[in-house]
Amino acid sequence: MPLKYTYSEVLGRELRLDDPDTIGVSSQTLAEEAIRAGRDEEAVTLVNYFLREMQIMHRIMWTWAEDIVRFILEKSGSGPGLDVSGAAGILRVFKTAELGIAPRDRCLEALAAGDRDGAIHWLDRMRLEIKNPHELMVAWVQDMLTYCAATWGEESVLETILHTHQSIWGDRYENWDKMTPWEKVALTIEGMRGGHFSGARRRGDVQVAEEHDRFVVSFDPCGSGGVLRRGDPETGRGPYPIGEHGTNREPHLWTWQKTGVHWYCAHCAIAMEWLPGRKRGHPLRPLDHTLDHQAPCVWYIYKDEKQTRDYHYPRTGLIKPEDIPHESKE
């Protein structure tokens, strides 16, 4: 499969910008193919890039968890500054552990020695060393948001996600408007491919399709909220148990006006639709959330965001600006 590993001037780093028929293929799978085919230089590039994909999302997850811990400490009455120092102390292990480095080095050592089976073995160990704490952090975020909702009411979930918005989604999508539509697709898929371990094999398989006005990206399952709701197809682990306050019981504009939305999944409505819609006039990257836990999660990246289809607006209380042409009813 052709690899297009290209430097992005906007992001200031390399990014996979493959064609639509390959961009959704796991970086791990591409690395394995390169190892088996003897394309060692390409294999090294892919192994290192796969590790970077995972490291980026690992940092995002522990940052999010740290921000929620800080929020809980602050709401619980901690003294000035103790919320910050306390949260940093609690999350220190996630920030200091150099996950993935040792198996990556073993993988590259095996490759250099001509041990291709060994290289593939250590490549998968690299994935698992980061995937396992990822699963814990997804469940931890869900549990902490559940605690917030049970303790301070459902609006506190919105409050804490707004509390952490800039350090996670605001920074990641700071240059979104400077990117080409395909760069937006590539950045989106990067996070869900190696970052969240989407797909039934949990190695980052994503489906991509193109329509005349938008790109359609789907995950079956999404490797974070989807696995939380459905269970892990790789290990057979069941869905994360949801207690009385694990989903919303009141409809909110920031939960697509639905009830029964897992608190973890609510951040998609807030960060991609509800908040950017109020700041920009239209959603950033809308999705088709469904309460069917067995259904794929479908996201959209519009080629011209001002032409975002009408149906995306009302579910988070947005009104499409009058100076933007509305889609045909035909």
* pLDDT tens-digit readout, 157-215: 999 999 898 888 888 888 899 999 999 999 999 989 988 999 999 999 999 999 999 99
Closest CA to 166 of 174, 177, 155: 174
- Mean pLDDT for 114-127 is 98
CA distance 203 to 223: 9
CA distance 33 to 42: 10
Task: Flag whether pLDDT at 325 surpasses 80.
Answer: no
Backbone phi, psi, residue 262, to 5°: -60, 140
Closest CA to 97 of 55, 68, 57: 55
| 167 class by beta-carbon count within 10 Å (0-12 exposed, 13-18 middle, 19+ buried) | middle
- Predicted confidence band of residue 52 (pLDDT cuts 50, 70, 90): very high
CA distance 330 to 326: 12
Residue 89 token pair: 């102390």
Which pLDDT belongs to residue 329?
39
227 near 221, Cβ under 8 Å? yes
Distance of CA 281 to the CA centre of its chain: 23
- Mean pLDDT for 68-81 is 90
Which pLDDT belongs to residue 330?
33
Percent of the chain with pLDDT over 90: 80
Show the beta-strand stretches assigned E in the chain. Answer: 5-8, 13-16, 207-210, 214-219, 287-288, 297-302
Closest CA to 276 of 142, 154, 160, 173: 173
3 state SS of 300: strand
Task: Flag whether pLDDT at 314 surpasses 50.
Answer: yes
Which pLDDT belongs to residue 322?
75
CA distance 285 to 173: 11
Which pLDDT belongs to residue 326?
62
Which pLDDT belongs to residue 64?
95
Backbone phi, psi, residue 218, to 5°: -135, 150
Backbone phi, psi, residue 62, to 5°: -75, -25
- Mean pLDDT for 243-267 is 95
CA distance 240 to 229: 6
Which pLDDT belongs to residue 69?
93
R_g over Cα of the chain: 20
- Predicted confidence band of residue 1 (pLDDT cuts 50, 70, 90): low
